[in-house]
Chains A and B, each alone.
Chain A
Amino acid sequence: MTMKTAFFAEDEPLARDVLRDAIYGHPALRLVGEAADGATALERIEQLRPEVVFMDIQMPEMTGLEVLRRLDYLPHIVFTTAYDQYAVTAFELNAVDYLLKPFTRARFAEAVSRLLEGGAPPRAALDGALTQAQGGPARLERILVRDRGRIFPLSAGEIEYMKADSKYTVIVARGQHFLVRIGISELEAQLDPKRFIRVHRSALVNLDFVESMRADDQSQLQICMRDGSCIGANREASKLLREMAI
């Protein structure tokens, strides 16, 4: 396996130690440099041109997002952050890699193997992530999902339904299941509410893919999708759907 050149930007001394150790300890990475603030990071990355960059979002002088926006080439980027709701949502939706602090060695290795397999995400994906990370929630038209190291753009209209699976969401589209590491409520907030109905706590359904709905004995609706699976709607959703019907 050829080793990839790696760089990291992180302002906190102990967090820097963690990344340094993790990169040194990884057989596929060779550390070529580091920076403790955004401005230095931008300068040194452009000079050293590493293939992989681990970068904190909240840094002195310049945020990691801003550094990425200004870079004159596109390395593999893995963002590290302790807590940035908007940014993490944006990364997840655009299949941009990130690590949530604190992270284990295993999570670090997972992120690295993902980027080694997957190839760099397209510039458009990063731009999408940047716009969403800085602009807050917006209407979502496309999600980039990952499957066995490849990234697929999935337009919102193709999504049949989603199911929450603890912190993850399973997206069903094109007869396949895609797992994204983002809560169903956050997805719901960014999708067209006329088309996507939260039929109960852990299911979000695209009405375009509903075959039929029938009432059970408690007059709650059973929603049957075109792929044959059925989802029970809760009381509120049943009421809402009935009101929508003419």
Chain B
Amino acid sequence: MTWRGHGVLSDTFPMTTPKPSFLTPMWRIYIGAWLVYVVLIAVVLQTESVIAGKFDPMMLVYAFVSITPTAALLALAWPLTGWIERRRLALPQRAAIHLGAALGSAICAHLVFTALQTAPRPFAWHVWPFMYNLMIYALVTGIFHVVRVTAAGQRQALAAQQARTLLVAAELGALRSKLNPHFLFNTLHSIIALTQRNPAAAETALFQFSDMLRYVLDTERAGVDRVTLDAELDFVRDYLELESLRLGERLRVEWDLDPDAGDHLLPALTLQPLVENSIKHAFNPHSRPGLLRIASRRMESGMLRLSVGDDGPGAAPEAIAASTGLGLRTIGRRLELDYPERARLAVDSQPGAGFTVTITLP
């Protein structure tokens, strides 16, 4: 007979016959191994007759009946090993539990085996089958533990891999938040326009653009991200040059820098977000020209004070505190993490009176 039913069956009932999921490959191997063992025992018990060419099928039944209860009983060791692994029990506890369970299962299996004996047996006869049951318990639970530990290891590796993927995504997210796409595409649009009108200026702008990208990517990658104030100021200068391509005469910048502070170390991207914040709130939404002031000062105490201020619309302190924007809050949080209790971020602003942020750090 040719079997054609399978295809038809799965074609007709695709939705209602999900695969039985309780027979995992491990259990198929478990059952298969015991069946092989049953056949082996049935053959071994009558080796002489088999050699003589005779095979008593009743021996198969006998082997099956005497072995299956042990196999079924030992299957219970699977949930037991699971429970032990989940509880992360210590070695003595594990040993105690397994010893108890081994004795219990050996006694049960042995009772079944004894009941199958037709002739009475001397006491010494019981020792080997009993020992054998203890050993088979050790073997099966040992395998179960190995399977569980391996599976857990694979899950862990998978989780670690996912964590790495998330980390990369987070880094890209950070990059996106540092150089916002609006700035990127508008700047590229301006540079493309410059290539025809003023190729030299376009070239300069492209170099500034590439320096900016490199600075952000390098500090992003380097984990510990301290830079000198001079490096951060160069970055801010590049950034402002590009913004002034977009904003034209609306953006004027006044620098008031302390020549002694250039080698002071600070977290990368501390100053630029303050500048970007001003551009966003004081320059982008208004067509009248504005003034941006950037100042640095090394104080007598050795602390560094940086301030970024504009003459834009400003805001009331309550409005700033309630604002949902992340810019200032992120910088404050970073300073807090980097210099607990020692760094300060202060906002000085009133409606109509501009907006100045001053940070002080060691």
Contacts and interface: CB of A to CB of B under 8 A. Distances in A.
Given A82-B182, A83-B185, A242-B15, A15 B193 contact: yes
Contacts of A241: 15
A136 to B, nearest CB: 14
B340 interface: no
B286 A102 contact: no
B190 A12 contact: yes
Nearest to A245: B15
Contacts of B181: 82-83
A152 to B, nearest CB: 31
A135 interface: no
A197 B194 CA distance: 47
Nearest to B192: A102
Nearest to B205: A14
Contacts of A102: 185, 188-189, 192
A221 B14 contact: yes
Nearest to B183: A82
A121 B197 CA distance: 35
B15 A15 contact: no
Interface string B174-195: 0000001110111011101110
B248 interface: yes
A83 B180 CA distance: 9
Contacts of B19: 219
A220 B193 CA distance: 52
B248 A12 contact: yes
Nearest to B247: A12
A245 B193 contact: no
A61 B193 contact: no
Contacts of B18: 242
Contacts of A58: 182, 284
B246 interface: yes
Query: Which of B11, B184, B185, B287 has the most C-beta atoms of chain A within 10 angstroms of its own C-beta?
Result: B287
Contacts of B16: 245
Contacts of B150: none
A213 B185 contact: no
A60 B246 CA distance: 13
A15 B18 CA distance: 60
Interface string B128-147: 00000000000000000000
Nearest to B248: A13
A221 B248 CA distance: 58
Interface in B227-241: none
A14 B194 contact: yes
Nearest to A102: B189
Contacts of A97: none
B245 interface: yes
A201 interface: no
Contacts of A107: none
Query: Which of A12, A15, A83, A221 has the most C-beta atoms of chain B within 10 angstroms of its own C-beta?
Result: A12
Nearest to B244: A13
Contacts of A84: 182
Contacts of B185: 82-83, 100-102
Nearest to B201: A14
Interface of B: 10-11, 14-16, 18-19, 180-182, 184-186, 188-190, 192-194, 197, 245-248, 284-287
Given A14-B189, A14-B193, 6 more contacts: A60-B286, A101-B188, A102-B192, A103-B189, A242-B15, A245-B16
6 contacts: A13-B248, A14-B190, A15-B189, A15-B246, A213-B15, A221-B14
Interface of A: 11-15, 17-18, 36-37, 40, 58, 60-61, 82-84, 100-103, 213-215, 219, 221, 241-242, 245
Question: Would you list the 8 A-B pairs with minimal beta carbon distance, nearest first?
Answer: A82-B185, A245-B15, A101-B189, A83-B181, A102-B189, A14-B190, A14-B193, A215-B14
